[in-house]
Amino acid sequence: MSNLRRGFERFCFRNRGKGIPNLMLYTTLGSAVVYLITMISNNAMLYNLLSFDREAILHGQVWRLFTYAFTYYSDGIFFTALTLYCFYSFGRIAEANMGTLKFNIFFFSGIILQDIFCMITGTPATIIYLKLSMLLIFATLHPDSTIRLYFIIPIKTWVWVLINFAITAYNIFALRGYFPHNLFPLVAIFNFFLFFGKDALNILPLSWRAKAGPKKPEKKTGTIPFPGNTQAPKTVDAYTHRCTVCGRTDVSNPELEFRYCSRCKGYYCYCQEHINNHEHIE
pLDDT tens track for 58-76: 999 999 999 999 988 777 7
**In 68-156, alpha helices (H):** 77-98, 100-121, 128-141
Per residue in 85-137, pLDDT (tens digit) is: 888 988 898 888 888 999 999 999 999 999 999 999 999 999 888 988 888 88
Question: Per-residue pLDDT tens for 105-114?
Answer: 999 999 999 9
- What's the CA gap between 121 and 184, in Å, rounded? 10
Please report, in tens digits, the pLDDT of each residue of the chain (282 residues total): 667 777 888 888 888 888 899 999 999 999 999 999 998 888 889 999 999 999 999 999 999 999 999 988 777 788 888 888 888 988 898 888 888 999 999 999 999 999 999 999 999 999 888 988 888 888 887 777 777 776 677 878 888 888 888 988 998 999 888 898 999 999 999 999 988 877 777 777 665 655 545 444 444 444 444 444 444 444 445 677 788 888 888 888 887 877 777 777 766 888 877 887 787 777
221 with 263, same domain: the answer is: yes
Residues 6 or more apart whose CB falls under 8 angstroms from that of 24 comprise 87, 88, 90, 91, 92, 94, 95, 107, 134
CA end-to-end distance (rounded Å), the chain: 14
Same domain, 116 and 234: no
28 lies in the same domain as 75:
yes
Which residues does 154 contact at the CB level (< 8 Å), separation at least 6? 146, 147, 148
Residues 280 and 200 in one domain: no
Is residue 199 located within the same domain as residue 214?
Answer: no
Q: Look at the chain and report how many structural domains it folds into.
A: 2
Are 122 and 56 in contact by the 8 Å Cβ rule? The answer is no
Same domain for 48 and 122, yes or no, is: yes
Q: How far apart are CA 257 and CA 207, in angstroms?
A: 11
Residue 46, domain CATH: 1.20.1540.10
CB atoms < 10 A from the CB of 93, how many?
16
Residue 143 sits in the same domain as residue 253:
no
Single residue among 204, 231, 251 that ends a domain in this structure: 204
Q: Which of 198, 190, 3 is nearest to 112 (CA)?
A: 190
Contact call for residues 250 and 233 (beta carbons, < 8 A): no
Domain housing 268: 209-282
One domain, residues 110 and 14: yes
